[in-house]
Structure 1
Amino acid sequence: MKLTVIGCGYLGATHAACMAELGHDVLGMDSDTDKVHVLNSGKAPFFERDLDGLLAKHTASGRLKFTASYAEAAHFADLHFIGVGTPQTPGEDTYDLTHLYSAVRQLAPRLTSPAVVAVKSTVPVGTAPRVAEILHEFAPAGDRVEVAWNPEFLRESFAIEDTLRPDRLVLGFQAENTWAEAMLRQCFEKIIEAGAPTIVTDWATAELAKGAANSFLATKISFINAMAEICEKSYADVHQLAEILGHDPRIGRSGMRPGLGFGGGCLPKDIRGFITQASKLGAEAATGILREADAVNTRRREAVVNLAREHLDGDLTGKRITIWGAAFKPNTDDIRDSPALAVARKLHESGATVTVTDPKALDNARKTHPELDYIEDPIAAVQDADLLLHVTEWAEFGHIDPHRLAHRTAQTLVIDCRGTLNPDTWRQAGWTYRVLGRP
């Protein structure tokens, strides 16, 4: 098939490369000409594991190209995926749909023949009818332009795997057995034939799917971190508690990792957007558990600062603190709502001198937090430190021998905010080792 992907940020660029991998001819479209130039060179303007290789493979073969022209995109194909960003509105807990509606309005006048517009962006329920209204009003093809909803469920650092081998495929349509459904089934034929569960549903259910999924995942993470708060008061071990709970097949161990909590561009935004939209629909009472999940997540960041203060004689002023990690999770350079940088900022505001290191995210961190110090080498970063915080669980950090660090620091004190370092190894090397949720 020939298809376009409009909006080539994290979601769109990944989707475009993976659709080319499935054998389609793909034209990615983005209004940022610098981004288009980078993508056409076979590279991504952000870090996602294995994506550069996929982009290089298919831009070289000619199967994948990128443009900044809506006219070229409209002429290229009659199946158009929209994957523009829908970030949290500044100062509010709602989705900012500016980029989505702008993309639809610019594409619509150029659709002169029947087409399918499949939206992948995460939105509040009720957005699909408005998208259809704009398309039918401004597209010369009118109601021959069909709207589909195809939510994404990508995990950063696993985005290619999640696109090519998804754990479910959701297709939302206004009516049954439409041309749009036939088009998307053809597009995803290899994925469907490989056994991916395929759920065909209505617009509203498909719109709710991503927000509901992320709200549940956020709640699961916050549940075990709420248990960590209790463990810290009762001298119990939350990591062993999580293992005990995880053996119950109704609960499961996946995703229930105690520590500093969640961040990134999806879970925080989606749980807050889900709460706001439910309130607007008159279902505010149903969101109480989600509000507490969000509150627990925020408290974990405060808990780290308080634990640091406790071990540094009750005062952070003038203390030198090294933070291993800036990205919100390992194997990405994404710093959106990063717990690591939130903690770094709070420590800095409390008077500490904070040095941050990260394998991939330092350039992004410098732009948003110039008040912090940055060093690329995690070993050099601990020089003269009073405290080391392990905040993003990069594999590189776990492989560092703590014996190599002890002579560099002012104090051999480490707080493992993710619980992934080996406590015996660190203690045997002479370090005072603390972890959230453990005595």
Structure 2
Amino acid sequence: MNPTESPRLTVIGTGYLGATHAICMAVLGYEVLGVDVDERKIAKLAAGEVPFFEPGLPELLTKALESGRLRFTTSFAEAGEFGDVHFICVGTPQQPGSDACDLSYVNAAVDSLAPHLTRRCLVVGKSTVPVGTAAELTVRLQELAPAGADVELAWNPEFLREGYAVDDTMHPDRLVFGVASDWADERLRAAFRPILEQGTPVIRTDLATAELVKVAANSFLATKISYINAMAEVCEAVGADVKDLADSLALDDRIGGKFLKPGLGFGGGCLPKDIRAFAHRAEEIGVGHAVAFLREVDAINRRRRARTVDLVRELLGGQISGRRIACWGAAFKPNSDDIRDAPALDVARTMHGLGGYVRVYDPAALDNARRAFPELRYGENALDVARDADVVVLLTEWSEFREIDPDALAEVVAHRRIVDGRHALDAARWRAAGWEYRALGRS
């Protein structure tokens, strides 16, 4: 096709990444076909229902469907016939019993799509994969596709933040194009033209570097989070205040304050599994020593969960069993219903296992939490779960928790005790209202 024409796009995989990408690209003016093997997911999206929580996305889905530019299918034959640029957006979870990345969904997507590629086209990986995957997939793709070497592979890593995915897709801070030819670069630029016209920076690089960008970025962010949490452990040992320490470091423009917030640590479907898979892959290719520090980053992060439970136990006089505990938060972060590797639920389950009477509330993730952990008790709102509580534990920093009035909460609890697992509350305000306030790394 003419390089100046807008390519027709397919998006293979309609989970969090894929559905967001398909919807936003259709809103930007492209003809888009979303593809998935899950018929229920496809039916929901086609009916205008986003199957996960993401602010702003349901409205854009309605707009995209009404425009006629967005459709969904389970047919890879239809996808092969339709698309000029095919984006692979399937999951790459951690393998059970291993730190390695599970590439089965990526391989299945390529195996299902390739036999239907009969003309020149570009397949673009967006999934987070171990370095070297793209080179292997290129061989696999060209062997299976009737068009053979006319089918090229590129890599375009995603940098979506849950809760901000729409803005991150429509107005990204950068685009990375891992390509093997000028033609592939031209096709990608055509597939992102409205975004590039905003002045978005583009890094053109090779496939291996493009694969590394995402895991390198996530590893850096995870390291920064674990660094300040390691400092919290030091502060606890000497009676210092980690929040004041973090605030002081943040004013150094070489360091900055982003991701330098002490607390319960990171979770979700990206950072934990990505740093483990990166360390695993580095060992496979003989450079494990270069990223050995990521093992300690992971260990520091895991310790925060156990330390939060210890803090609750200390506030309760050494005994969790039989005590009523209100847990605010289930999602791994606010503005999301994602509970994958969620520190909040890990802490709640641990205290339940220790005999605590634990009740959980989250503004968006309750349904997912109930399905995954039916043994826990759940409530309808923040005050509901706090009724007669011996201690309240803030585990996900939703704005509605930060805005709760300490005096209003005091009316429903049995004891004014609160553990701020996210350093989200004004300690002075809560203490002035008569609360015993505790947070990791603070005296």
Range of TM-score over shorter length: over 0.9
1:159 Cα shift?
0.7
Partner of 1:168: 174
Aligned residue runs from structure 1 range 32-51, under 5 A: 32-51=38-57
- Name the SS for the 2:413 alignment partner: coil
Partner of 2:368: 364
Structure 2 unaligned runs (5+)? 1-5
Partner of 2:261: 257
| Deviation by residue 1:150-197 (Cα, 9 ceiling, x = unmatched) | 0001110011111111111100012x41x2211101111222221211
User: Which one-letter code corresponds to 2:395 in the other structure?
Assistant: V
1:301 Cα shift?
0.6
From 377, 382, 385, give the equivalent of 2:389.
385
User: What is the alpha-carbon distance in structure 2 between the residues aligned to residue 394 and residue 27 of structure 1?
Assistant: 34
1:21 Cα shift?
2.0
Structure 1 unaligned runs (5+)? none
Q: Does 1:244 align with 2:248?
A: yes
| Deviation by residue 1:261-302 (Cα, 9 ceiling, x = unmatched) | 100000001000100001111111112221111111011111
Count matched residues.
437
* TM-score computed with the length of structure 2 as normaliser: 0.97
Q: Retained in 2: the 8 A contact 1:81–1:117? A: yes
Partner of 2:415: 411
| Deviation by residue 1:336-390 (Cα, 9 ceiling, x = unmatched) | 0001001011111111111000000000001111111001211011111111001
* TM-score computed with the length of structure 1 as normaliser: 0.98
Q: Does 1:428 align with 2:435?
A: no
1:413 Cα shift?
0.4
Aligned residue runs from structure 1 range 283-294, under 5 A: 283-294=287-298
From 151, 154, 161, give the equivalent of 1:145.
151
User: What is the alpha-carbon distance in structure 2 between the residues aligned to residue 390 and residue 424 of structure 1?
Assistant: 16
From 207, 210, 234, give the equivalent of 2:211.
207
Q: Retained in 2: the 8 A contact 1:221–1:257? A: yes
Q: Retained in 2: the 8 A contact 1:42–1:57? A: no
User: Which one-letter code corresponds to 2:33 in the other structure?
Assistant: L
Q: Retained in 1: the 8 A contact 2:85–2:191? A: no
From 99, 104, 109, give the equivalent of 2:115.
109
Aligned residue runs from structure 1 range 389-404, under 5 A: 389-404=393-408
- Name the SS for the 1:123 alignment partner: coil
Q: Retained in 1: the 8 A contact 2:224–2:260? A: yes
Q: Which moved more, 1:36-45 or 1:324-333?
A: 36-45
| Deviation by residue 1:7-39 (Cα, 9 ceiling, x = unmatched) | 000000000111112211111111111111111
Q: Retained in 2: the 8 A contact 1:220–1:255? A: yes
User: What is the alpha-carbon distance in structure 1 between the residues aligned to residue 320 and residue 259 of structure 2?
Assistant: 33
Q: Does 1:31 align with 2:22?
A: no
- Name the SS for the 2:177 alignment partner: strand
- Name the SS for the 1:170 alignment partner: strand
- Name the SS for the 1:421 alignment partner: coil
User: What is the alpha-carbon distance in structure 1 between the residues aligned to residue 50 and residue 235 of structure 2?
Assistant: 43
1:326 Cα shift?
0.2
Partner of 1:438: 442
User: Which one-letter code corresponds to 2:203 in the other structure?
Assistant: I
From 98, 106, 111, give the equivalent of 1:92.
98
Q: Retained in 2: the 8 A contact 1:412–1:431? A: yes
User: What is the alpha-carbon distance in structure 1 between the residues aligned to residue 33 and residue 185 of structure 2?
Assistant: 21
1:397 Cα shift?
0.9
Alignment RMSD (CA, Å)? 1.0
Q: Retained in 2: the 8 A contact 1:42–1:60? A: no
- Name the SS for the 1:182 alignment partner: helix
User: What is the alpha-carbon distance in structure 1 between the residues aligned to residue 354 and residue 97 of structure 2?
Assistant: 24
- Name the SS for the 1:107 alignment partner: helix
User: Which one-letter code corresponds to 2:219 in the other structure?
Assistant: S
Q: Which moved more, 1:218-227 or 1:407-416?
A: 407-416
| Deviation by residue 1:50-86 (Cα, 9 ceiling, x = unmatched) | 0101111111111111111111111112210010001
1:307 Cα shift?
0.8
User: Which one-letter code corresponds to 2:168 in the other structure?
Assistant: D
User: What is the alpha-carbon distance in structure 2 between the residues aligned to residue 77 and residue 68 of structure 1?
Assistant: 14
User: Which one-letter code corresponds to 1:389 in the other structure?
Assistant: V
Query: Which runs of 4 or more aligned residues in structure 1 lie more than 3 Å from their structure 2 counterparts after TM superposition?
Result: none
From 11, 14, 17, give the equivalent of 1:8.
14
Partner of 1:335: 339
1:424 Cα shift?
2.6
From 358, 363, 372, give the equivalent of 1:354.
358
Q: Does 1:268 align with 2:300?
A: no
User: Which one-letter code corresponds to 1:386 in the other structure?
Assistant: D
Q: Which moved more, 1:128-137 or 1:138-147?
A: 128-137
User: Which one-letter code corresponds to 1:23 in the other structure?
Assistant: G
User: What is the alpha-carbon distance in structure 1 between the residues aligned to residue 286 and residue 144 of structure 2?
Assistant: 32
User: What is the alpha-carbon distance in structure 2 between the residues aligned to residue 251 and residue 289 of structure 1?
Assistant: 19
1:429 Cα shift?
2.3
Aligned-residue sequence identity (percent) comes to 57
- Name the SS for the 2:292 alignment partner: helix
Q: Retained in 2: the 8 A contact 1:149–1:206? A: yes
